Amino acid sequence: MKQILVIGAGRSTSSLIKYLLDHASKNNYMVVIADMDIEMAKARANNHSSAKAVAFSIEDKELKKQLIQAADVVVSMLPASLHIKVAKTCLEFKKHLLTASYISDDLLKLNDEVKKAGLVFMNEIGLDPGLDHMSAMHIINKLREEGHKIVLFESFCGGLVAPESDTNLWNYKFTWNPRNVVIAGQGGAAKFIQEGRYKYIPYHKLFRRTEFINVEKFGKFEVYANRDSLKYREIYNLDSVLTLYRGTIRRVGFSRAWDMFVQLGMTDDSYILDASEKLSNRDFINLFLPFHPTDSVEIKLRHQLKIDQDDIMWEKLVELDLFNPNKIIGLKNATPAKMLEAILAEKWKLEPTDKDMVVMYHKIGYQTQQDDLKQIDSKLVVLGENQTFTAMAKTVGLPIAIAAVKVLQGIITQPGVQLPITKAVYQPILDELAQNGIVFTEHAVPYEGYE
């Protein structure tokens, strides 16, 4: 009996593990679920005859060796920084490895050894990165096979709340790691290419430089630029592309409101606030406002951000209970970003009956052999079923689960530390994703670039 080891049983693994268990009996393999929280691992195993739950810490070197040595394929759903600890043991015992995280420099250093051992170390095989790679390369390679030249590539993705669960003025709730939302865009300017020209957006301007997209049946959305779009020139072999831009999707109005926090400095994660555990919501926001002997926090904030009394931006701030002097945040040694995250995590949490939504959108412009300029738009919308089988868990978990089975079956065999950008990898995965309701719709539209 072959064995798949899944390390980590967090929120994103519900659909991953369900898929593996649904296919385990007929394919005669065992799924071992290892997590620090044994109860979480048991819940994912769900008393399935082909599942085994194990209490596991990545620091337990002996147990790590035992589990990986017994496995045929290892799926690491740990934080990205910990994958290397799994990868080195997989290489030692010659086991295949899959992760949903970006390829780290440490992992890339193992590439020659991984190839020599004939192992598949597949990374970036979740949603974004993952589904974005596969769906984009499916179209790009098809156009290239027809003799066309890619001149425009724009790609957007967002984890959002489903329309029926959209119940706050921000039109947003956390469907993924809140910290990633709070610190999004930091660490350097967003950079991309537009009509052959390099463009840069510094962090303090990022959320006021947005563009709009429309998705049938779901309406209008806005997009702000991701930090580095330029690296996809090499990944997708788009050296001659004129426009290359990747961004994050939000409902219209979110970015303008979020920019208030950026301008105040509340998203800064670089320093610790003194006596942070004693601060109330009102104290916290007052930290970033000038002193005035008589003006209230509310008045100072309106002056600082130039918010009119009838501006919806004000209502959005009030909705977050930011001016409550009795609400103690209670975090020790916290950065501004962590304090803000704590406030928002309470206000933007998904309720038990809430559902989430994932939206992905590609724009691919191309030049035909007759020098005509055309464009294909490709869109995906996935709605969550409930709090366990969310759209995020489905779109992150199913690609990596399907890939794990394909590796186990010998369908995906190309060795090395890699991304799912070759047809031999992405085509069988996309075909099976379509059978599971994850389907991109493609439409020919007028070319949006400069002619």
The set of residues, in sequence order, having a beta carbon less than 8 Å from that of 352 and lying 6+ positions away, is 387
CA distance 15 to 45: 12
Please tell me the chain's helix, strand, coil percentages from 3-state DSSP, rounded to the nearest 5.
Answer: 40, 25, 40
Domain assignment present for residue 178? The answer is no
Q: What is the predicted pLDDT for the residue at 131?
A: 96
Final residue in a domain of this structure, among 62, 93, 122:
122
Q: Residue-wise pLDDT tens for the chain (451 aa)? A: 899 999 999 888 999 999 999 999 888 899 999 999 999 999 999 999 999 999 999 999 999 999 999 999 999 999 999 999 999 999 999 999 999 999 999 999 999 999 999 999 999 999 999 999 999 999 999 999 999 999 999 999 999 999 999 999 999 999 888 999 999 999 889 999 999 999 999 999 999 999 999 999 999 999 999 999 999 999 999 988 999 999 999 999 999 999 999 999 999 999 999 999 999 999 999 999 999 999 999 999 999 999 988 899 999 999 999 999 999 999 999 999 999 999 999 999 999 899 999 999 999 999 999 999 999 999 999 999 988 899 999 999 999 999 999 999 999 999 999 999 999 999 999 999 999 999 999 999 998 876 5
Distances (CA, A) of 368 to 148, 284, 371: 5, 57, 5
Domain assignment present for residue 137? The answer is no
Q: What is the predicted pLDDT for the residue at 208?
A: 96
Q: What does the buried/exposed string (b/e) look like for 323-351 if buried means 16 or more CB atoms within 10 Å of the residue's CB?
A: beeebebebeebbbbbbbbbbbeeebebe
Cβ proximity of 407 and 75 under 8 Å: no
Which CATH number does the domain housing residue 50 bear? 3.40.50.720
In terms of residue numbers, what domain contains 53?
Answer: 2-122
Domain assignment present for residue 255? The answer is no
CA distance 393 to 384: 8
Q: What is the predicted pLDDT for the residue at 451?
A: 57
List, in sequence order, every beta strand (DSSP E) within 124-173.
149-161
Domain assignment present for residue 109? The answer is yes
Cβ proximity of 448 and 374 under 8 Å: no
Domain assignment present for residue 101? The answer is yes
Final residue in a domain of this structure, among 291, 321, 347:
347
Determine if the peptide bond prior to 399 is cis (ω within 30°).
no
How many structural domains does the chain have? 2
Final residue in a domain of this structure, among 347, 382, 399:
347
Alpha carbon 437 to its chain centroid, in Å, reads: 19
CA distance 273 to 324: 19
Distances (CA, A) of 43 to 10, 33, 52, 134: 11, 10, 11, 31
Phi, psi of 164 (to 5 degrees): -70, -15
The set of residues, in sequence order, having a beta carbon less than 8 Å from that of 171 and lying 6+ positions away, is 161, 250, 251, 252, 253, 254
Q: What is the predicted pLDDT for the residue at 157?
A: 97
Domain assignment present for residue 19? The answer is yes
Q: Helical H runs in 146-210?
A: 178-182
| pTM for the full predicted model | 0.93
Q: What is the predicted pLDDT for the residue at 1?
A: 87
The set of residues, in sequence order, having a beta carbon less than 8 Å from that of 205 and lying 6+ positions away, is none
Domain assignment present for residue 422? The answer is no
Domain assignment present for residue 192? The answer is no
Cβ proximity of 229 and 192 under 8 Å: yes
